[in-house]
Structure 1
Amino acid sequence: RPCGLLKQTALNKLVGRFQLHQEALPHLPVPPLQQTLDRYLLALQPIISPEELSHTQALVAEFRKPGGVGERLQKGLERRARKTENWLSDWWLKTAYLEYRLPVVVHSSPGVVLPKQDFLDRQGQLRFAAKLIEGILDFKTMIDNETLPVEYMGGKPLCMNQYYQILSSCRIPGPKRDSIVNYAKGKKQSRHITVVHNFQFFELDVYHSDGSPLTADQLFIQLEKIWNTSLQTNKEPIGILTTNHRNSWAKAYNNLLKDKTNKESVRSIEKSICTVCLDAPMPRVSEDVYKSRVAAQMLHGGGSRLNSGNRWFDKTLQFIVAEDGSCGLVYEHAPSEGPPIIALLDHIVEFTKKPEMGKSPTVHLPMPKKLRFNITPEIKNDIEKAKQNLNIMVEDLDIKVMVFHQFGKGFPKSEKISPDAFIQLALQLAYYRMYGHACATYESASLRMFRLGRTDTIRSTSVDSLKFVQSMDSPDKSDQEKADLLRKATQAHREYTDMAIRGNAIDRHLLGLKLQAIEDLVSVPELFMDTAYAVAMHFNLSTSQVPAKTDCVMCFGPVVPDGYGVCYNPMEEHINFAISAFNSCADTNAARMAHYLEKALLDMRILLQAAPKSKL
């Protein structure tokens, strides 16, 4: 449970505290080579055939020989670890994000669905947006003054660096690799946010000349001015360019920036603290489809005819407030994982509930600046192509938000089982019942116990999880045996999780060895050219637990064409799930997965209630 080290004293500056805290954090270790290789073979057991396994065992034996390739690469990694603040973080940022060429939309950027707000018109929408901006600025004060309470996990302080990367930052497309700009520090700090309405972008100053932030009342007045000067609905959706394949967008970006006006406008967006998107209402849908539709709106905007042009997807943080009360956010994944984004969101949601502090003084506020774009025929053509590609992606995304009402994290806790392990095992059971075999499963584990730590992989498919799911529907196993296997599998998951957060998982270490070989300009070892490695890295289930105080759910697309993306927020009495798949794959279906998952959770509860806990 993250808890504050210092009481939130957002008024007193504590400059240098962040630096001191960061320097006290341990460095990410390089795990022992033999340990990783043993665990790699164990992780392969439930997902590949015995023949493939024996082939890989031979490759591992070759790789791990004394004085062999493995040891040489391991020494290189250990040298790198001694010389850098974190041996993994730069490599990970590049390989996982900046060099990834698929669009950030659906493929990389997660969305968050917030509870529906009770306003129904423009007035309510703008009031809520104003309060939301005030909440963002309140959180920003804590970041700027370094008074953000340090978070803890299992009594250990966590790296807080990601909080300093999420505001005033933006991704910039490049022909082979993107980059990130950050205007949070230094002399030229961002003083404005970007507001988008009807595909039109505005620069809104959110600080007075004395440095104090605008109040919600003042922000509301400014948002009304923006609204009233952007009523035309026939504007070119320039933001849609950011949804394209990264190489195509990089070309279009350079093209766009040839014009001085365009360049100024783009720089204003890149430098802003964040983006606030004032969306048109979503098409009306029935209650049970509603949340799934909002999830799609948050991920991609609903297509070129709806709100996809009302975004700048390279911006790290985009808050979305629609006229019908649907709201949430979408964020560019390169600078941060989900938890810091959720902490910011929890803070804002709490803030928006606070009553207004009296009337704000009426001061003359300048007209927000409209960002102009000169659209040449070539740019128009780029926009049309981006629209077509985006609409294909929109049609292809199959997403289902399921609120599981039967129980929440309270039940597994009452059985002394980790709620996360319980949910992961239910996913394993659902997948096995649907497909008759296990698959490589990715669950993100935080490495924030270490300086600049990002994530490693919890491989939820284990020898123990497979034994359990195979036994579950087997007539020759007693309930007691099944329950014991269930408990053993959740225990194994717990142990893998603990190992991962302590920097001892296998995935990033294996990646490091492979990248070390590439950096040393030696040939990539056979081990990484093996079919088994490809199978192990083909995550049909890509999952993440993102707990929040707010009753929200995060969502993201699958990471492989025939896979699922599953994100969940376990609340005390219910669990929010977002499940995604691609319509272009005949074998996957989000609603079907949701159905099997619900059944798995219920069956596992029945099993535990039927079989009293035996002494394991």
Structure 2
Amino acid sequence: MGRSPWVWGRRRAPPAPPPGGRGAPPPLPALGATLGRLLGALEALVAPGERERAQRLVRDFGAPGGAGPRLQERLRRQPPAPPRLPEWPWGSSERLPLPVHTSAGLVLPRQDWEDWRGQLAFAARFVAGVLDFRLQLRWCPRFPAAAQSPEPWLQAAFGGVPGAGAPPDEVLRVPPGASPPNFITVSRNGQFFQVEVCDESGSPLGVPSLRAALGGAEGPLGPGGGAPPWGLLTGQHRRAWGRAYGLLMRDRLNRASLGRIQRSLLALSLDAPVMAAGRGPGGGAAQILHGGGAGANSPNRWFDKTLQVVVGEDGTCGVIYDPAVIDGAVVADMADHALQFCRGPDPAPWRPSCPPHPRPQRLRFSLGPEIGPEFERAKRHLDSLAADASVLCVTHGGFGAAAPAQELLQVALQVAFYRSHGSLCASCEPTSLGLVLPGGSDLLRPPGAPVLALAQALQDPQQEEQLQVTLLREAVQEQARRRQEVGAGLGAERHLRALREAALAAGEPLPELFVDPAYALATHFRLCTLQVRSRSGSWLVRGPLVPDGYGVGVTHVAPQDPQDPPEPPEPPKTPEPPFLEEEGGALHITITSFNCCRETHPERLGGALGGVLDQLRGLLRRHGPL
């Protein structure tokens, strides 16, 4: 079995691009292969009494003269469309809110400083590190696409926003050929400022200049200190935010302020302290997911930005991003780079003799009588969302080179869900198609039959360990093969969605397969996972896709690489919760669910996952690596 690039121990080169190059349209998967994947998923999910009907529907759909071959030929004849951002095949027609439901976040290791001066100093350094990372992306060999200018996903990541009230797959970004923005949006105490961070040539300003500029944004609030919480409006359902956005755009002052926020490179939230009980990893994850509600830091967010950095006065820091636009692996690399930048030597302090830094411009809004009720609805919604979202943070020792980390975690999560709920569920992991379709994505789901056989074998105390290892190897190998197929543009989920949309576009009634309860069950993803690797020990967090589901973020924390230069000693910090560390690094796992659902319990799933990981690690120690 080929080694995964996620096996710790040494860096591995990314997979080679598929034949045809980046300029070629993504391949059209074979209809039979896609239906075979669907059939395998259905067989592991539906009850035995419904299995025969599901098999018949799949056979009828793919039979000669059936709807499947006709729709496949229609897709084959379609001219390749330019890539859109984002390609979000698991989106909801209900236009769910961005916080918790759609956005993902990275919780940084807790920082330590005495007061708001330390907060501003770290924020300036971190933003400078992010801007340095943005410049280096263009030449980084890991991201060859960034060398092509302009790159759509790069423009959408730095300077893009989801279109308020627009179709779900539309992102507003800097037009090709236009000069990139040279400023960011800074929020403090619910007020928003435009802060220039680059000079006229596009080069980032120095850290002292950034620090001085941020100091202007944190100054006295003045008579407008009780300004309405404009940021709360962006956290509502997309239709509600679209309605409020339309009302705001009627006023010229509002149009100017909204336009500046939309064009900014990113958003920076300078948060107020949170309660001491919310300062652990779980409290930090909640702050990054939703801000804590209308009485906490939610008014300090502008959820309608692709990339938002959060720096709290109490040391709670993180990054909020749209996983439909920017890959979590890029965000984790960016955070590691920025944190390393923060540990660099102290820059020379800014002096009055230095060139004057541009003063922040406060973004002002006009409050009309029709917008008042929107604030009340937004407050109730964010408070309810903050109370309903439950986050559990757990840690586990790594596996080193014993197994491919990504594939093993996907399989282990399915086995843990089986132990917690007595059955498998539809599970997915959003996967970037950057090698074949920049800005595109597809869903990777684990193989149903091998995972079910493994889950049943691991629960049988009389089962021979050699058989358990064999079943584990089969499940992981199949998962690795599917990951390669999806990355090459041959995934099943995107293809099935295209077939369904082809029928709707032609005005035909949907084939029976797509309206059957079995298909609805197979696409009701109760487990949605994201995985990244990090050398800083961050926590990846995302919410569930469905009300009775879980969102699981996994950070593979790398051990210290002997080839890396030694890092300067850091000042003492507030102790972090202990976690198991060994040669293979560690796992930081966050599990999120909604309290309103009585069927989901993060603690129960987390406990089951810990047991499964311990059992699998024991098997690998006794029987050797996969």
Preserved contact between residue 548 and residue 600 of structure 2 (Cα < 8 Å): yes
1:206 to 197, 202, 216: 197
- Equivalent position of 2:164 in the other structure: 173
| Rounded Cα–Cα distance in structure 2 between residues aligned with 1:506 and 1:350 | 39
Sequence identity percentage: 34
Aligned pairs for 1:64-213 (under 5 A) are: 64-80=62-78, 82-85=79-82, 93=87, 96=90, 101-142=95-136, 146-151=138-143, 161-174=152-165, 177=168, 179-183=170-174, 185-209=176-200, 211-213=202-204
Instruction: Show CA shifts across 1:118-167 (max 9, x none).
Output: 22310100001111121222233345xx43434389xxx9x975233200
| Rounded Cα–Cα distance in structure 1 between residues aligned with 2:341 and 2:91 | 32
- Equivalent position of 1:562 in the other structure: 548
Residue 46 (str. 1) matches residue 58 (str. 2): no
Preserved contact between residue 549 and residue 593 of structure 2 (Cα < 8 Å): yes
- Equivalent position of 1:574 in the other structure: 586
* 2:441 maps to amino acid: T
| Structure 1 stretch displaced more, 169-178 or 515-524 | 169-178
Please state how far the C-alpha of 1:97 moved relative to its aligned partner. 5.0
* 2:421 maps to amino acid: Y
Over 3 Å counting, the alpha-carbon distance change for 1:223 and 1:601 in structure 2 is same
| Rounded Cα–Cα distance in structure 1 between residues aligned with 2:205 and 2:167 | 40
Output the TM-score relative to the length of structure 1.
Answer: 0.88
| Structure 1 stretch displaced more, 70-79 or 498-507 | 498-507
Preserved contact between residue 4 and residue 150 of structure 1 (Cα < 8 Å): no
- Equivalent position of 2:212 in the other structure: 221
- Equivalent position of 2:357 in the other structure: 365
| Rounded Cα–Cα distance in structure 1 between residues aligned with 2:484 and 2:12 | 22
Please state how far the C-alpha of 1:175 moved relative to its aligned partner. 6.3
- Equivalent position of 1:10 in the other structure: none
Output the TM-score relative to the length of structure 2.
Answer: 0.87
Residue 310 (str. 1) matches residue 324 (str. 2): no
Aligned pairs for 1:431-442 (under 5 A) are: 431-442=417-428
Residue 549 (str. 1) matches residue 547 (str. 2): no
Over 3 Å counting, the alpha-carbon distance change for 1:469 and 1:263 in structure 2 is same
Please state how far the C-alpha of 1:557 moved relative to its aligned partner. 0.6
Residue 323 (str. 1) matches residue 317 (str. 2): no
Q: CA RMSD in A?
A: 2.7
Structure 2 SS opposite 1:45: helix
Please state how far the C-alpha of 1:461 moved relative to its aligned partner. 4.5
Aligned pairs for 1:5-84 (under 5 A) are: 24-80=22-78, 82-84=79-81
| Rounded Cα–Cα distance in structure 2 between residues aligned with 1:235 and 1:257 | 18
| Rounded Cα–Cα distance in structure 2 between residues aligned with 1:150 and 1:354 | 24
- Equivalent position of 1:510 in the other structure: 496
Please state how far the C-alpha of 1:24 moved relative to its aligned partner. 4.4
Unaligned runs of at least 5 residues, structure 1: 6-20
Unaligned runs of at least 5 residues, structure 2: 14-18, 558-583
Preserved contact between residue 99 and residue 176 of structure 1 (Cα < 8 Å): no
* 2:218 maps to amino acid: W
Residue 263 (str. 1) matches residue 255 (str. 2): yes
- Equivalent position of 2:405 in the other structure: 419
| Rounded Cα–Cα distance in structure 2 between residues aligned with 1:120 and 1:480 | 56
| Rounded Cα–Cα distance in structure 2 between residues aligned with 1:492 and 1:537 | 20
| Rounded Cα–Cα distance in structure 2 between residues aligned with 1:218 and 1:530 | 60
Aligned length: 581
| Rounded Cα–Cα distance in structure 1 between residues aligned with 2:173 and 2:459 | 53
1:249 to 241, 251, 261: 241
Over 3 Å counting, the alpha-carbon distance change for 1:98 and 1:588 in structure 2 is closer
Over 3 Å counting, the alpha-carbon distance change for 1:444 and 1:140 in structure 2 is closer
Residue 458 (str. 1) matches residue 447 (str. 2): no
Residue 488 (str. 1) matches residue 485 (str. 2): no
| Structure 1 stretch displaced more, 188-197 or 337-346 | 337-346
| Rounded Cα–Cα distance in structure 1 between residues aligned with 2:441 and 2:201 | 40
Instruction: Show CA shifts across 1:482-510 (max 9, x none).
Output: 22222222222222222222222211111
| Rounded Cα–Cα distance in structure 2 between residues aligned with 1:370 and 1:294 | 28
Instruction: Show CA shifts across 1:261-298 (max 9, x none).
Output: 12211111111111110000111027xx7101101100
Instruction: Show CA shifts across 1:354-373 (max 9, x none).
Output: 21343456222343111111
| Rounded Cα–Cα distance in structure 1 between residues aligned with 2:163 and 2:360 | 25
| Structure 1 stretch displaced more, 259-268 or 238-247 | 259-268
| Rounded Cα–Cα distance in structure 2 between residues aligned with 1:273 and 1:176 | 22
Preserved contact between residue 89 and residue 497 of structure 2 (Cα < 8 Å): no
Over 3 Å counting, the alpha-carbon distance change for 1:503 and 1:22 in structure 2 is closer
2:342 to 338, 352, 359: 352
Over 3 Å counting, the alpha-carbon distance change for 1:70 and 1:212 in structure 2 is closer
Preserved contact between residue 253 and residue 366 of structure 2 (Cα < 8 Å): yes
Over 3 Å counting, the alpha-carbon distance change for 1:497 and 1:314 in structure 2 is same
| Rounded Cα–Cα distance in structure 1 between residues aligned with 2:423 and 2:447 | 11
